[in-house]
Amino acid sequence: MSESRLDLRGIYPPIPTPFDAQEAVDLAALQLNLEFLEAHPLRGVVVLGSNGEAVHLTMDERVSIVGSVRSLLPPERLLIAGTGCHSTRQTIELSLAVASAGADAVLVLPPHYYKSRMTQDALIRHYHAVADASRIPVLVYNMPACTGMDLSAETISHIAEHPAIIGLKDSSGDVVKLGALREKLGLGFQLLAGSAGFLLPALSVGAVGGVLALANIAPKQCLAIHQLATTGNWDGAQAIQTRMVAPNAAVTRRWGVAGLKAAMDLLGLTGGPVRLPLLPLEPEEVAELKTLLMDADILVSKP
Task: Note the pLDDT tens digit of each residue in 189-224.
Answer: 999 999 999 999 999 999 999 999 999 999 999 999
Question: Average pLDDT of 125-144?
Answer: 98
Return the pLDDT at 270: 96
Which percentage of the chain shows pLDDT scores above 70?
98
Using the predicted structure, report yes or no on whether residue 9 has a pLDDT greater than 70: yes
Using the predicted structure, report yes or no on whether residue 2 has a pLDDT greater than 90: no
Return the pLDDT at 5: 75
Q: How confident is the model at residue 303 (pLDDT cuts 50, 70, 90)?
A: very low
Task: Note the pLDDT tens digit of each residue in 66-107.
Answer: 999 999 999 999 999 999 999 999 999 999 999 999 999 999
The 10 Å Cβ neighbour count of residue 7 is 12
Question: Average pLDDT of 23-32?
Answer: 97
Residues involved in catalysis: 169
Which percentage of the chain shows pLDDT scores above 90?
97
Mean pLDDT of the chain: 96
Q: What is the pTM of this model?
A: 0.96
Question: Average pLDDT of 160-188?
Answer: 97
Q: How confident is the model at residue 302 (pLDDT cuts 50, 70, 90)?
A: low
Question: Average pLDDT of 234-259?
Answer: 97
What is the dotted CATH code of the domain comprising 10-240?
3.20.20.70
Return the pLDDT at 37: 98
3-state secondary structure the chain: CCCCCCCCCEEECECCCCECCCCCECHHHHHHHHHHHHCCCCCEEEECCCCCCHHHCCHHHHHHHHHHHHHHCCCCCEEEEECCCCCHHHHHHHHHHHHHHCCCEEEECCCCCCHHHCCHHHHHHHHHHHHHHCCCCEEEEECHHHHCCCCCHHHHHHHCCCCCEEEEEECCCCHHHHHHHHHHHCCCCEEEECCHHHHHHHHHCCCCEEECHHHHCCHHHHHHHHHHHHCCCHHHHHHHHHHHHHHHHHHHHHCHHHHHHHHHHHCCCCCCCCCCCCCCCCHHHHHHHHHHHHHCCCCCCCC
State the Cα angle at 5 between 16 and 183, rounded to 5°: 85
